[in-house]
A and B are shown apart, each in its own frame.
Chain A
């Protein structure tokens, strides 16, 4: 590991009786690339906040560059060179790149007067140090997520960062951009600046991480050499249990049936081109691809949220035009969106209201008013059916855990009794335990005859749960895998990224 930069020793922290961290230690070498993984609730964010000085630990100490801190404050943490880049990047969309990079330093220095030459100079220096070029006068809102990330890293450098902590940095950027990010990280390493990735799953960051620390239920499971970890092993370390998947298969009778949904040569400019596929009753069709590959865009179009420019959609062999989500609904097509919190769930409304929003028409009495008894019956039915853990359906959806929230969104769509159900990232941000549970629900639906289209960038998820997989790359269907059991993750990854061999993730 070389020379130590930061060492967290015996850190414990409890929130109102719940032990978030119990005697956890973490050692980071100077310029090392380290990964901290754990499920939601494992304590990884608490640990990060303690290192960042945002939260004070109950016990333990942090040693940075030989200096001992029992109660590290946010300011001390920053002075010692620790910078946290949250997933939202904390940038100002309405300000220029130059200002975004320099502003934090100005605030920290408490300079009351702003010198614009200096702002530019600081930003320029940071970008030169990063080896990046971005127009300093551009507004940050006009940048891609990946460029925004660079701005955020640049900002960290202006505060003499020696360790940059990045929360899920690869979840919203394309493969090329991930590779670019890794170049930047390597450049930082060459300058002695370390990186700590925080993640809840095995993903791209493992490609360059040297060491991985796994947390579970507030305790440290151990430190591992990244090259020794496989997906299964990591899952076991994070959950303490082995989750076995049985491949999903359909019988030959289903395959001979005509498709419920058929898409022919669908095209939308700048998003996807000439996409054709079909799905039958009882099938779970996987669509996988990187961000920007067009996977979500195609689904949005079929579900009436994003008009295609050309091409045909057939439902039960009838050509249809789907101009709105309502129309999709009438045709029996439902879409579970990829962003649960902003697209899927009315967080501050009750579970019941969330459940019935798409089927209100069916709850109307003869007078045209909502039949409250019927509504209660329907919502209770779904709470039981999907085993949503709540004292009552009248409780606000925000009080539920991620997995249960996703079940509420599932309930909303299942209540419409769809023939074709698009699930976009059905288990994003959900714990592994809950994840397999949701997968089981999905399989059960397919077994009962629903046609499922599962969109996911987790190769393992589609490989384990789908009977057929489409691979999308740069807006086109790049391949189809008829028998997912016949290929391994590495092969699928090769097809997704269109690369050969060298950069296959270790799974």
Chain B
């Protein structure tokens, strides 16, 4: 009974319920939705968003926003791929190493500006996003890497699966290895957040930064960790992304992923002022966004309704969450504000 009560107190429970209802509706209209191959496909195509969302959540937990992750992802991807082509290598491992190194360095640059000059992360990362992406296009290149040029390792990785199943017609499909990557990253991040002092420090900073400092947390070190971790995640996401679409355009990811990632994390119940938010919520948020984006066509809505519904769901979702929070707050005077 107590457990149930606790469950009902969580935002995740409601989001989960909405997703189930949604999935049911789509299934009724179009039973193809619930088929495993469709679900596997959805999971695979949303894995990049999920990885960026994990990073975004970490930063949001401290009450900050990092908008440079997509720029880091594309930079890491493009630099890694072009390096491999240049030295005629076909090593996926090398690609990951390069992308991760780029991500860590770029993350460190963010952390440097944020910690040294005590600047708001939103503004710093807005600047570095332009710096990283502009720098990439100017100094590395603008040409797309087409499928023919792409080292085989990426294509193999993009097709690799954890296990395969066979359809009625004899063709086979599988659960992409991407899911394993996301699962490992989720597990690692969860362990960090839950079982390390670093992770608790992240929540502590989001709760009250000054108290965290007084408690003896090394705020600077935690911030370096967070932004470099975001860089690392972005690097991995970059490699997954090119392996999925088998095409490398240095203008991809940058303008498309950011809003989707923010929407997923916020729908997942993370609070913009920091300190509150869970990985479960974030993954549910990604699921919600993915189902919305990829399945409206399945229930007979033309594709141009998609944007509208995604927007509508986010607006209604956040409005309900915040109205509920306001009703629950114990404040005597409700202050009308825009932050």
Contact = CB atoms under 8 A, between A and B. Distances in A.
Q: Is there a direct interface between A and B, measured as CB atoms under 8 Å apart in the complex?
A: yes
A114 B275 CA distance: 18
Interface residues of B, number: 24
Interface string B183-210: 0000000000011111111011011101
A92 B216 CA distance: 13
A112 B196 contact: yes
Nearest to A268: B332
A88 B215 CA distance: 13
Contact of B196 (A90, A104, A114): A114
B200 A306 contact: no
A241 interface: no
Q: Which of B195, B200, B212 has the most CB of A within 10 A?
A: B200
B3 interface: no
Given A90-B214, A104-B215, A113-B196, A306 B332 contact: yes
B216 A112 contact: no
Interface residues of A, number: 26
Contact of A90 (B203, B208, B276): B208
A296 B203 CA distance: 34
B211 interface: yes
B56 interface: no
B196 A107 contact: no
Interface in B267-282: 275-276
Nearest to B333: A305
Contacts of B204: 92, 95, 103
Given A99-B200, A103-B204, A112-B196, A91 B211 contact: yes
Contact of A300 (B201, B212, B332): B332
Contact of A93 (B199, B208, B212): B208
Nearest to B218: A107
A80 interface: no
B86 to A, nearest CB: 40
B211 A92 contact: yes
Contacts of A300: 332-333
B217 interface: yes
Question: Most chain-B Cβ atoms within 10 A of its Cβ — which of A86, A90, A92?
Answer: A92
B173 to A, nearest CB: 40
Interface centre among A90, A271, A300 (most CB of B within 10 A): A90
Interface string B201-243: 1011011101110111100000000000000000000000000
B207 A90 contact: no
B199 to A, nearest CB: 7
A107 B203 contact: no
Given A113-B195, A113-B196, A95 B217 contact: no
Interface string B256-296: 00000000000000000001100000000000000000000
Given A94-B206, A114-B194, A114-B200, A107 B216 contact: yes
Interface in A262-284: 271
B212 A92 contact: yes
A106 B215 CA distance: 10
Contacts of A94: 203, 206-207, 275-276
Given A103-B215, A106-B197, A114-B194, A93 B207 contact: yes
Interface in A63-102: 86, 88, 90-95, 99
17 contacts: A86-B214, A90-B210, A91-B211, A92-B211, A93-B275, A94-B203, A94-B206, A94-B275, A99-B200, A103-B200, A106-B200, A112-B198, A113-B195, A113-B197, A114-B197, A114-B199, A305-B332
A-B residue pairs, 3 tightest by C-beta = A92-B207, A94-B275, A90-B211
Given A114-B196, A300-B332, 10 more contacts: A90-B211, A90-B214, A92-B204, A95-B204, A95-B207, A104-B216, A106-B200, A107-B197, A297-B332, A306-B333
